[in-house]
A and B are shown apart, each in its own frame.
Chain A
């Protein structure tokens, strides 16, 4: 079964600190995504990637970096965490464009 695993599942970070959210998929998918979920905003695309060593900006990339060192791994990096980045973050993968996207269980990030 397709699997997308996120770590950690929950994190409390200090304002101004660096945060790295990790994602690992065993689906052998080329495409990976990071979404942010906020009440009233739904799911918003932060960064995505369709090949290792390359990332693309989504709709809300400011304040976030992404890294895709291999097909299986995709990280989201907050260099200077801010209160406004408190949210639930979802990693996802898909086989190709315009097909089913498989999501992880999410990481709840609280910035204090």
Chain B
């Protein structure tokens, strides 16, 4: 079945560092791709989505580009802040069953002041 892989379980950075969280997917067809963020004690919140090759999604200074060739949707931010500390989830919506959303295991970002 379809799947999402996030290679980093935890990432530790200092403020103003550049962030990259890697996300690769395996899916038949053409899935929609998403990034979500989860703060302590809360449910995940939608960041942005992309649904076609080379489309860029962005929000709150975060961005990712849909790359069908490398089956990737890496999350990037130029300058992180302490308030960005959270768990980030990459997800996909199946092409053949749009109601089914599959999440990766999440990446815990720690930003040190």
Residues in A lying within 8 Å of B, measured CB to CB? 4, 31, 33, 35, 40-45, 48, 50, 56, 58-59, 90, 92, 94, 96-106
Contacts and interface: CB of A to CB of B under 8 A. Distances in A.
B89 to A, nearest CB: 6
11 contacts: A31-B99, A40-B9, A40-B105, A42-B106, A45-B102, A56-B99, A97-B93, A98-B93, A98-B98, A99-B49, A100-B34
A52 B105 CA distance: 30
Given A33-B101, A58-B100, A104 B43 contact: yes
B103 to A, nearest CB: 4
Interface in B61-113: 89, 93, 97-106
A43 B44 contact: yes
Contact of A42 (B43, B51, B89): B89
Contact of A105 (B6, B41, B93, B97): B41
Nearest to A41: B105
Contacts of A50: 99
B91 to A, nearest CB: 8
Contact of A92 (B42, B43, B49, B104): B43
Given A90-B44, A105-B41, A42 B99 contact: no
A44 B100 CA distance: 11
B103 A103 contact: no
A77 to B, nearest CB: 20
Contacts of A92: 43
A4 B45 CA distance: 12
A86 B79 CA distance: 37
Given A42-B104, A43-B106, A103 B45 contact: yes
B32 interface: yes
Contact of A48 (B1, B6, B43, B100): B100
Q: Which 4 A-B pairs have the closest CB atoms?
A: A97-B98, A103-B43, A42-B105, A98-B93
